[in-house]
Amino acid sequence: MKSSSPSSYYRATAASYAPYAPLQGRAHARVAVVGGGFAGLNTALGLAERGVRDVVLLEREQVGFGASGRNGGFVFAGYSLGEQSLLDQLGEARAQVLFKLTTEAVGRIRQRITDYAINCDAVDEGVIWANWFRDPAVLRQRQQLLAEHYGVHWQWLPETELRARIRSERYHGGLYERDALHLHPLNYAIGLAASAAGKGVRVHENSGVRSLQREGLQWRLQTSQGELLADHVVLACGGYLAGLQRTIDRAILPIATYVMVTEPLGARLDECLHTRAAIYDSRFAFDYYRALPDTRLLWGGRISVLNRSPHGVQRLLTRDLLRVFPQLQGVRIDHAWSGLMSYARHQMPQIGGSDDGLWWAQAFGGHGLAPTCAAGELLAAAIAGGDDGWKRFADYGLGNTHRPFGYLAAQASYWWQQGRDCLKTRLEG
Ligand SMILES: Cc1cc2nc3c(=O)[nH]c(=O)nc-3n(C[C@H](O)[C@H](O)[C@H](O)COP(=O)(O)OP(=O)(O)OC[C@H]3O[C@@H](n4cnc5c(N)ncnc54)[C@H](O)[C@@H]3O)c2cc1C
């Protein structure tokens, strides 16, 4: 890795834009959105699309600084909580309603990219779920579950067909989710911010909110240089904890995951991939990867309570990469970074509000592109028109994650699940 290179490929290839000025002095707003990740940006844009004037978005760093500008870029349906658990917990009808919010969100993301001309290298070629295990039951069960209970059809890819697309002996068949895409997430975030700003949202970067207090019928938000009075406040700060409201903050466990990007591979890319789909595998802590427009391979994986240095990330992920594609031995890694996801104990998003105009959207875990879009719509509809669709998430509340002890429990559970996957792989031979 070149020591002078910016650690994130996305940052190095970000669309240039005039930075949004910090909030300065005293201001008023109908709605203050805190956090310039997808949850905050989608809410702000959803409000502007509904004709709500006087929306202010405050971001501590730059738009897309958090998980939203660092992720794998997979846009697909569903939540961090698996489809079977959703079904077990809510029953078929309610599980379907929540799942459908995310399939609709995939469509909305496509539509917005077109409508707002967001240049984010979107590749609308689906996602492949590749089976790490020899046991085909893993694939059959998920395919059947999706078809029978959610009306969603993923195409079966037998081993030979999969290997024609992914040149690796590592996998044993797969499922193809056609209604999915992948994109440059930071440029998508920058595009969402520009779209919201174009519709009148006042976006402020370098405007971390330091305190949030109720004052009469309004909320007072304090930043280092300014102060905002707002009727409604939306907290959308993900794993980069806002530190503003105890019950909302402590409901989150920030969990790290890692990404790296190879040098441009040129013709060597053909030795690995004959598909433009993005790929992840069937283990608990899966690898996820996709080809980039300039023939680089973006490779992500691992989940941990530890945020690692770029060199640590590169070392770990290179080992993972070579297990799948030994033909890439010696490949140069140009970028490596980590990001923090926000997890709730129940693994579902926390989307809610209270009677005094305080709203929240967080805990999207490792599956946030479509759900943050759905959350933005729900909160925008609630604030703009009193819609109570967000109450469908009422089962998934703000339970305390008991940091720092929660980290130990989470890491122990990850090791347990990863150990189970390792054992299964060994037993299969
Ligand atoms: C490495 C990685 C890979 C992933 N891959 C995928 C994927 O391929 N597909 C997928 O669907 N999901 C993926 N995810 C998950 C997805 O990125 C997240 O679920 C989603 O981006 C969460 O968005 P968010 O807006 O809730 O949080 P974030 O994007 O983290 O945004 C929160 C923002 O709030 C700001 N903030 C915090 N406190 C304050 C404050 N006090 N004042 C002002 N601003 C504040 C932060 O600076 C930050 O910009 C991945 C996540 C990571 C980390």
Share of the chain above pLDDT 70, in %: 99
Residue from 237, 317, 362 whose mutation best tests the ligand 1 pocket (most atoms within 8 A of CB) = 237
Share of the chain above pLDDT 90, in %: 86
CB 239 within 8 A of CB 60: no
CB 367 less than 6 A from any atom of ligand 1: yes
Of ligand 1's listed atoms, the one at least distance from the Cα of 244 is 41
What is the average pLDDT across 201-230? Answer: 97
Q: What is the 3-state secondary structure (H, E, C) of the chain?
A: CCCCCCCCHHHHCCCCCCCCCCCCEEEEEEEEEECCCHHHHHHHHHHHHCCCCCEEEECCCCCCCCHHHCCCCEECCCCCCCHHHHHHHHCHHHHHHHHHHHHHHHHHHHHHHHHCCCCCCCECCCEEEECCCCCCHHHHHHHHHHHHHHCCCCEEECHHHHHHHECCCCCCCEEEECCCEECCHHHHHHHHHHHHHHCCCEEECCCCCCEEEEECCEEEEECCCEEEEEEEEEECCCCCCCCCCHHHHCCCEEEEEEEEEECCCHHHHHHCECCCCEEEECCCCCCEEEECCCCCEEEEEEEECCCCCHHHHHHHHHHHHHHHCHHHCCCCEEEEEEEEEEECCCCCCEEEECCCCEEEEECCCCCCHHHHHHHHHHHHHHHHHCCCHHHHHCCCCCCCCCCCHHHHHHHHHHHHHHHHHHHHHHHHC
The protein residue whose alpha carbon is closest to atom 15 in ligand 1 is 366
The protein residue whose alpha carbon is closest to atom 27 in ligand 1 is 238
Of ligand 1's listed atoms, the one at least distance from the Cα of 240 is 37
Ligand 1 centre distance from Cα of residue 69 (Å): 7
More confident residue, 97 or 401: 97
pLDDT value at residue 4: 42
CB 226 less than 6 A from any atom of ligand 1: no
pLDDT value at residue 3: 45
Residue from 70, 241, 335, 341 whose mutation best tests the ligand 1 pocket (most atoms within 8 A of CB) = 341
**123-175 confidence digits (pLDDT tens):** 999 999 999 998 899 899 999 999 999 999 999 999 999 999 999 999 999 99
The protein residue whose alpha carbon is closest to atom 26 in ligand 1 is 238
CB 58 less than 6 A from any atom of ligand 1: yes
Residue from 20, 56, 59 whose mutation best tests the ligand 1 pocket (most atoms within 8 A of CB) = 59
How far apart (Å, rounded) are the C-alpha atoms in residues 113 and 125?
Answer: 15
The model's pTM: 0.96
> 6 pLDDT band (50/70/90 cuts)?
low
Q: What is the largest CA-CA distance in the chain?
A: 67
CB 240 less than 6 A from any atom of ligand 1: yes
> 1 pLDDT band (50/70/90 cuts)?
low
The protein residue whose alpha carbon is closest to atom 1 in ligand 1 is 71
**393-424 confidence digits (pLDDT tens):** 999 999 888 888 788 887 878 888 887 878 88
**110-120 confidence digits (pLDDT tens):** 999 999 999 99
Ligand 1 centre distance from Cα of residue 220 (Å): 24
Residue from 240, 245, 253, 286 whose mutation best tests the ligand 1 pocket (most atoms within 8 A of CB) = 240
Which residue matches tokens 């037998």? 158
Ligand 1 centre distance from Cα of residue 239 (Å): 7
More confident residue, 312 or 193: 193
Ligand 1 centre distance from Cα of residue 242 (Å): 12
CB 344 less than 6 A from any atom of ligand 1: no
pLDDT value at residue 346: 95
Ligand 1 centre distance from Cα of residue 137 (Å): 33
